[in-house]
Every structure is written in structure tokens, then in C-alpha cells.
């Protein structure tokens, strides 16, 4: 039987596929910034595959009476680090800070995935562990990365701030949906949760990627000029963004 969850997943797959067009276009027309476009194309490209699988109900398992979509968690584990990598690339903050962000991200997702299948109070303790990792991630994006960043021009800094704010605002809703969905208290049905998450995923991925591609000329300008770049790599110096 065709459920509403699979229908929403199909809508998600189409949206993500359309969202992959701008970075592919960029790859063709602006090869100098290949790494940026590849990261962006990966974000929506991987999600297209994950949503297509969910549309056919592939990889859906039931554990402790709860339905878990494996493609969803695999998608998040691959694509959220790519989003963070792109943000860090804008500020050119170096490998250490990217690694910190990615570790906090992967750990929070794994804890969220594990908590779904646990029962009893430990489940909420594991979920709380995920929320703590999310706190580290938000701190890094708001405080640490801007402090370490070397924005080559004002437009790149503005692009970073816009994408960073969009990311934090949207990502904060995921643990809320986790609590409301069958993964948590079960106040939302599986179909409703799929609709809400598909919608959140589309904005945090396809809209993020579209805004990023639109802002790539700022990076192109910066690459060409390389003027006004100020290296601020410790806490004593004036932050370049807040």
C-alpha cells in the first residue's frame, strides 16, 4: 500500500534532485571553485538517493516497536558534515576546527539514532547527550569559527553569517521534531513526521545550496583579489564576525 510517508519521501527526492542542478551548473561553469561545488552537489545529491530509497520503503526497520529509516540517518551522517565543511571553507579556518565540528555532528547523530531504539530512561539520557553535542556545534559556529576565520572580503563574511544563521535556526528544530515524532513521545504520526522532516531537509539542504551557489561569486572575487585578508587565529585578536 502507498503510505503518505512514501509520497512525501518522493516529493523530497524530486526537490533534492532539482536542488542538485545549481551546483552541477557551477561545476561546469566555474571549475576554479570545484571543491566548493562538489561539497554542495554532494549535499543534495546524497539526499536525492536517500529520499528515493525512502519513497520505495527501502531500509526501513522496526526496532523496539519504532520505525527507523536507515537511509535518513546515513544521509544525515554524510551530508551534514558536508554542510559544516562548506561553512568552514568560507572562513578558511583549517582542519582542526572542521574536525571538531564534524565529530560533534557525527556523535550527536549517532546518539539520536541509538536513542530511537532504546527503551526506558536511558533513551532520554542518550538523547540529552546528543543535545549537548549540538550545543558544542552551535558554540563553534557562533563563537569559535568566526574568531578563527579569515574572510577575504565582506561579502564572503556576510554569506557565512547568512548560511550559518539559516543552519542553526533550522537544525535546532530537528531535536524538537525527534521528541514529537514516533522516535520520541509519538505526538506526531509517522506520515506527519516524514512531511515535517522532508520540509526541514529541503530548506536546510536545497535552499542552503541555492544560497551558497548564488554567493559563490563573492568567493570568486576574493580568490581573484586576495586583498584585505586578515588572519585572526587566536582569541586575543578582534573577531571578524560575531
Question: In 10 A of CB 72, how many CB atoms?
Answer: 22
Binding-residue pattern over the window 142 to 171 for ligand RET, x denoting contact by CB under 6 A: -----------------------------x
Question: In 10 A of CB 132, how many CB atoms?
Answer: 13
Residue (11 or 220) nearer to ligand RET, CB: 11
Burial of 211 (0-12, 13-18, 19+ CB in 10 A): middle
Query: Which residues, 6 or more positions from 154, have their beta carbon under 8 angstroms from its beta carbon?
Result: none
Residue (86 or 134) nearer to ligand RET, CB: 134
Assess 134 for contact with ligand RET (CB under 6 A): yes
Beta-bridge partners for 31: none
The only residue of 51, 151, 160, 178 in contact with ligand RET, by rule CB under 6 A:
178
d(CA 5, CA 77): 21
Binding-residue pattern over the window 18 to 57 for ligand RET, x denoting contact by CB under 6 A: -----------------------------x----------
Q: Do residues 235 and 143 lie in contact, with contact meaning Cβ atoms separated by under 8 Å?
A: no
- Contacts (CB under 6 A) with ligand RET, residues 180-209: 201, 204-205
The only residue of 9, 46, 55, 108 in contact with ligand RET, by rule CB under 6 A:
108
Listed ranges 6-14, 22-30, 33-41, 75-83: which one lies at the site for ligand RET (CB under 6 A): 75-83
d(CA 105, CA 77): 8
Residue 63 phi/psi, 5-degree rounding, is -130, 135
Size, binding site for ligand RET by CB under 6 A: 19
Contact footprint for ligand RET (CB under 6 A): 47, 76, 79-80, 108-109, 111-112, 127, 130-131, 134, 171, 174-175, 178, 201, 204-205
Amino acid at each position: 500500500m502507498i503510505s503518505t510517508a512514501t509520497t512525501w519521501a518522493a516529493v523530497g527526492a524530486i526537490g533534492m534532485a532539482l536542488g542538485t542542478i545549481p551546483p552541477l551548473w557551477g561545476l561546469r561553469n566555474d571549475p576554479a571553485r570545484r571543491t566548493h561545488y562538489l561539497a554542495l552537489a554532494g549535499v543534495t545529491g546524497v539526499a536525492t538517493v536517500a529520499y528515493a530509497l525512502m519513497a520505495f520503503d527501502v531500509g526501513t526497520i522496526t526496532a523496539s516497536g519504532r520505525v527507523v529509516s536507515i537511509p535518513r540517518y546515513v544521509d544525515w551522517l554524510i551530508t551534514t558534515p558536508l554542510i559544516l565543511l562548506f561553512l568552514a571553507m568560507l572562513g578558511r579556518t583549517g582542519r582542526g576546527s572542521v574536525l571538531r565540528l564534524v565529530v560533534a555532528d557525527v556523535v550527536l547523530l549517532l546518539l539520536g539514532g541509538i536513542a530511537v531504539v532504546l527503551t526506558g530512561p536511558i533513551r532520554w539520557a542518550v538523547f540529552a547527550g546528543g543535545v549537548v553535542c549540538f550545543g558544542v556545534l552551535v558554540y563553534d559556529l557562533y563563537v569559535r569559527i568566526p574568531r578563527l576565520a579569515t574572510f577575504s572580503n565582506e561579502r564572503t563574511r556576510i554569506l557565512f553569517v547568512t548560511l550559518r544563521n539559516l543552519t542553526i535556526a533550522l537544525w535546532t528544530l530537528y531535536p524538537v521534531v525527534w521528541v514529537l515524532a514516533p522516535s520520541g513521545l509519538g505526538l506526531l504520526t509517522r506520515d506527519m513526521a516524514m512531511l515535517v522532516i522532508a520540509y526541514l531537509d529541503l530548506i536546510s539542504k536545497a535552499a542552503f545550496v541555492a544560497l551558497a551557489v548564488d554567493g559563490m561569486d563573492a568567493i570568486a572575487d576574493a580568490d581573484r583579489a586576495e586583498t584585505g585578508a586578515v588572519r585572526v587565529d587566536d582569541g586575543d585578536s578582534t573577531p571578524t564576525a560575531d
